A and B are shown apart, each in its own frame.
Chain A
């Protein structure tokens, strides 16, 4: 049995009376691709913020990469990678400068940055563009680059917040190729998405409804238990039960 890299036990986050995250319990195994689904306002973002060490939970226990979300936020941040749909690189820096900057932030040594960034640029086939400003790249390339940068410091786990929103179908698949590659290299992937076909690519998924985890299993078993052939339908059945709607 693989090690648990994320453990959540009855984790809650309240904003006043509002239970954004309501006693969620789940764990993520090392090397797993873990899908985190839910309608808008179901509490995905709030939960992810806690796990990334960006906000404190109200109650419950959770650890990420072995570090406590209350006391060791700084250590968590060091051992995770993060990328969001809102493109997270600097448009007015070149590709290499962006890599250099993020590598530096995470304390990767100079020689190592140099070596790895050359590799990275070669794998992405961006040799010609390496010295161009990131702002001039098409969206799909930017997203792939942002992902590569997010795992540049070889984190134990990478959090992806709707990484493929609005990206064309081919690039979307290339992106998932990269996710698989990262998973093979032992990086745990924690991903949210609105594309239900992408949910199928995950080893296991959770569906959050109204701040609670309403389902947690492999896509195949979820479909089985909901007596349907599509993830879309599973999600729809779950999300329709939602009573609250808030962003």
Chain B
């Protein structure tokens, strides 16, 4: 039995003029770490709010722990843990007071489920008398996670927990999620950072309220249809302009220190790259074949969707 089952969930705002979530279906198995990957405004938060019974869907249905998100909202509220995108604790209460308050609200005590939060809590315990408003981003995040876990939820919803957090804290946070997963908690996490996708068991790429693809990170990368090449030159901006204008090049975009591009007709790798090198004899030109990343897949899917939408529109 899936822990979260979503069937054609749809939600609009402003009397239907804004389509926040459009016909979304997926399921999350027990103990899975499931990632919703997409930019701001893709519909991640709305989807999470529906699943945590904070919003009613326009149509479609969903269950959490086998319970309906509309009918059984009380029971769901008893069981799930939720960490909203914005830091949502009381800034004028101390770490200890916040944790104690949420434990009581969830009808439990800190002691009862201490083993679950112990690994995280010990990191912030030295500051337990400090007010939450005076904590650093990483510490706030740890406290928020403790508060969301304190009642031993069966399913944990984390809405963009790493947004605006620096690389170091992000790494730490994902390590914490991994150890939580080992304790058997089902976790749904959303993020706009594509590089975090690889840390999930399965991911859904979401854009404009629609899911573009659901699979394991490996399979999503594997399903990338073309060969992907990387290019670099001393003047990379000039190279970008030239490749964009190249008839043979299907798509080209900057990707870190390299440009990534695909060609219209795949052929022998060496011939192809030599031909490109000949056409664009730039200083320090470097060309090679590479493995796509999730971000490459996302860009690809976005392009395909735009083409589809434009085609539909005409």
Q: Which residues of B contact A168 (CB under 8 A)?
A: 38-39, 42, 207, 298, 302
Q: Which residues of B contact A220 (CB under 8 A)?
A: 257
Task: Name the residue of chain A whose CB is nearest to the CB of B298.
Answer: A169
B256 touches A166 (CB 8 A): no
Flag whether A132 is at the interface (Cβ < 8 A): no
Pick the residue among A40, A166, A200, A239 that contacts B39 (CB under 8 A): A166
Stretch of B28-36, B67-75, B166-174, B264-272 at the chain-chain interface: B166-174
- Which of A39, A139, A196 counts the most B-chain CB atoms under 10 A from its CB? A39
Flag whether A186 is at the interface (Cβ < 8 A): no
Shortest C-beta distance, A67 to chain B (Å), equals 29
B39 touches A41 (CB 8 A): no
Pick the residue among A166, A219, A242 that contacts B257 (CB under 8 A): A219
A40 touches B166 (CB 8 A): yes
B254 touches A166 (CB 8 A): no
Q: Which residues of A in the span 192-247 have a Cβ within 8 Å of any Cβ on B?
A: 194-197, 200-201, 219-220, 230-232, 235-236, 239-240, 242, 245-247
B136 touches A201 (CB 8 A): no
A139 touches B255 (CB 8 A): no
Known: A170-B302, A200-B256. A236 touches B39 (CB 8 A): no
Q: Which residues of B in the span 178-237 have a Cβ within 8 Å of any Cβ on A?
A: 192-195, 207, 237
Q: Which residues of A contact B165 (CB under 8 A)?
A: 40
Known: A173-B254, A231-B256. A166 touches B207 (CB 8 A): no
Q: Total A-B residue pairs with C-beta atoms closer than 8 Å? A: 88
B167 touches A39 (CB 8 A): yes
What's the tally of chain A residues with a CB closer than 8 Å to chain B?
A: 39
Flag whether B78 is at the interface (Cβ < 8 A): no
Complex CA–CA separation, A111 to B274 (angstroms): 51
Complex CA–CA separation, A102 to B207 (angstroms): 32
Q: Which residues of A contact B42 (CB under 8 A)?
A: 168
Flag whether B59 is at the interface (Cβ < 8 A): no
Shortest C-beta distance, B258 to chain A (Å), equals 8
A166 touches B302 (CB 8 A): no
Q: Which residues of A contact B256 (CB under 8 A)?
A: 196-197, 200, 230-231
Q: Which residues of B contact A197 (CB under 8 A)?
A: 255-256
Q: Which residues of B contact A240 (CB under 8 A)?
A: 168
Flag whether B299 is at the interface (Cβ < 8 A): yes
Complex CA–CA separation, A139 to B40 (angstroms): 7
Complex CA–CA separation, A160 to B78 (angstroms): 44
Flag whether A103 is at the interface (Cβ < 8 A): no
Flag whether B101 is at the interface (Cβ < 8 A): no
Flag whether B249 is at the interface (Cβ < 8 A): no
Complex CA–CA separation, A180 to B89 (angstroms): 41
Complex CA–CA separation, A148 to B175 (angstroms): 39
Flag whether B281 is at the interface (Cβ < 8 A): no
Q: Which residues of B contact A41 (CB under 8 A)?
A: 136-137
Task: Name the residue of chain A whose CB is nearest to the CB of B194.
Answer: A169
A159-192 toward B: CB 8 Å interface, digit per residue (1/0)?
A: 0001001111111010011001000100000000
Shortest C-beta distance, A117 to chain B (Å), equals 25
Pick the residue among A184, A236, A246 that contacts B171 (CB under 8 A): A236
Q: Which residues of B contact A194 (CB under 8 A)?
A: 164, 166-167
- 14 new A-B contacts at CB < 8 Å, known A239-B168, A240-B168: A39-B168, A40-B169, A140-B39, A165-B40, A165-B164, A166-B41, A168-B39, A169-B295, A176-B254, A196-B256, A197-B255, A245-B136, A245-B138, A247-B137
A-B contact pairs, 16 of them (CB 8 A): A39-B168, A40-B165, A41-B137, A138-B41, A139-B39, A162-B164, A165-B40, A165-B164, A169-B39, A194-B166, A220-B257, A232-B195, A236-B168, A245-B139, A246-B136, A247-B137
